[in-house]
Structure 1
Amino acid sequence: MGILNGNPKDQPLHYGEVFDIWSFSMKAKGSISVYRAYQYHAGDKDLKKILGDLINQAELESEECDQILIHNGIASSPTLPARPEAKLEDIPVGARLTDPEIAALVSADTAASMVICSQIMGKSIREDIGALFGKYHMTKAAIGLKILEMNKEKGWLVPPPLHVKRPELVEA
């Protein structure tokens, strides 16, 4: 007889899984609010589309994580109030985030989120939890690739120092 056999959804969550799922849901809810603010600041249509994709993904993540928590008798993280809509023209120039700034912020946030997904996958003992965060990781990787391509295309990418000097190959 094995330990924790059967349907993973019927198995208890360990404390680390509870904390990670609750925290991830809270982060997703915060991301929805912040990404909506970024949408109001963004002028570029491609950036707005990616922000829409990020909002949709964060809404899905918070909903799925909350369902797991509630199913296990744990209160979900609080939902933030809806952000009032703003028009780009109404935001003072000195207070406005630029499109390259927003793109850099969502790039870094997406990369950090992938790291968190990997950590949660590594700590999970329930297969369904590991698989769920594997799904989130793959989705974030795909969105991250879109962000990278957009940053390159628009000239917004700020690369680290590039190694351009290469050793000459010697044929034997």
Structure 2
Amino acid sequence: MTNLFEAVANTLKVKLDNEPKSPLHVGEVMSCWVYVAMMDEASIFMQAGVNMTTDDELLDMLKDSIEQCDKQSTKLKDFMKTEGVHLPNVSEPRPNSDPNSVPLGVKLTDDEIANGVSIKTASAIIACATGASQSIRTDLGTIWVDFLSEKLLFGTSLKTLLIKRGWIKVPPYYYPPGLPQQ
């Protein structure tokens, strides 16, 4: 079965070849700037998570997330530099450390780390969709659609891990008034 996001991206890429490049509008610039800051700061959070957990599955997920965040940030930074857009200042990368040496009052639990990644992934999905909907330029719209599909795929595997480990945070169930009892 054809992936919907790949089909949309391929359609946009075909159109892209014939599109004149207008300057980015302020909404496009803001979406790029905020997303680069989000990805770089998320990568820092994941690095801290790597320094705090010994769980193999969580470590693999964190490393996958770092790789994805760094790849997307680099791609968007290259685009922004080409367009003359200044890059945001972000935190410095974290050095490697021994998870067993992190004091208990400072160390995040695996549950907290995984849910932090979940929140950052959900925020990135929303940012990608917003960026895509605001983009006039097809080349930038294609970037957003690619990022969105990558984040959705990652989010699916993350949700599976959260459910498997009992870490997923579920809001209270809603039972509307008058709902028939089953």
Unaligned ranges ≥5, structure 1 = none
Q: In the alignment, is the contact (CA less than 8 A) between 2:124 and 2:151 conserved in 1?
A: yes
* Other-structure match for 1:47: 58
Instruction: State the secondary structure of the residue aligned to 1:85.
Output: coil
Equivalents in 1 of 2:90, 2:169: separation in Å? 34
Q: In the alignment, is the contact (CA less than 8 A) between 2:38 and 2:124 conserved in 1?
A: no
Q: Does 1:160 align with 2:171?
A: yes
2:28 to 9, 17, 20: 17
Give the structure-2-normalised TM-score. 0.81
More divergent stretch after superposition (70-79 vs 108-117): 70-79
Q: In the alignment, is the contact (CA less than 8 A) between 2:58 and 2:114 conserved in 1?
A: yes
Cα offsets for 1:126-166 (capped at 9, x unmatched): 11211211111111111111111111111212322246897
Unaligned ranges ≥5, structure 2 = 1-16
* Other-structure match for 2:112: 101
Equivalents in 2 of 1:85, 1:64: separation in Å? 25
1:33: Cα distance to partner? 1.2
The runs of at least 4 consecutive aligned structure 1 residues that moved more than 3 Å come to 5-8, 162-169
Counterpart residue type for residue 35 of structure 2: F
Instruction: State the secondary structure of the residue aligned to 1:103.
Output: helix
Say which structure, 1 or 2, has more relative contact order (CA 8 Å, 6+ apart). Answer: 2
Q: In the alignment, is the contact (CA less than 8 A) between 2:42 and 2:120 conserved in 1?
A: no
Q: In the alignment, is the contact (CA less than 8 A) between 1:35 and 1:54 conserved in 2?
A: yes
Q: In the alignment, is the contact (CA less than 8 A) between 1:66 and 1:77 conserved in 2?
A: no
Equivalents in 2 of 1:123, 1:30: separation in Å? 23
* Other-structure match for 1:116: 127
1:168: Cα distance to partner? 6.8
Cα 1:82–1:158, aligned 2, differ >3 Å: closer, same or farther? closer
Q: In the alignment, is the contact (CA less than 8 A) between 2:128 and 2:145 conserved in 1?
A: yes
* Other-structure match for 1:133: 144
Equivalents in 2 of 1:54, 1:157: separation in Å? 18
* Other-structure match for 2:7: none
Give the structure-1-normalised TM-score. 0.86
Cα 1:101–1:79, aligned 2, differ >3 Å: closer, same or farther? closer
Instruction: State the secondary structure of the residue aligned to 1:84.
Output: coil
Cα 1:15–1:163, aligned 2, differ >3 Å: closer, same or farther? closer
* Other-structure match for 1:59: 70
| Identical positions, percent | 27
Equivalents in 2 of 1:84, 1:132: separation in Å? 30
Q: Does 1:27 align with 2:27?
A: no
- Which protein shows a greater Rg? 1
Equivalents in 1 of 2:55, 2:133: separation in Å? 37
Instruction: State the secondary structure of the residue aligned to 1:41.
Output: coil
* Other-structure match for 2:19: 7
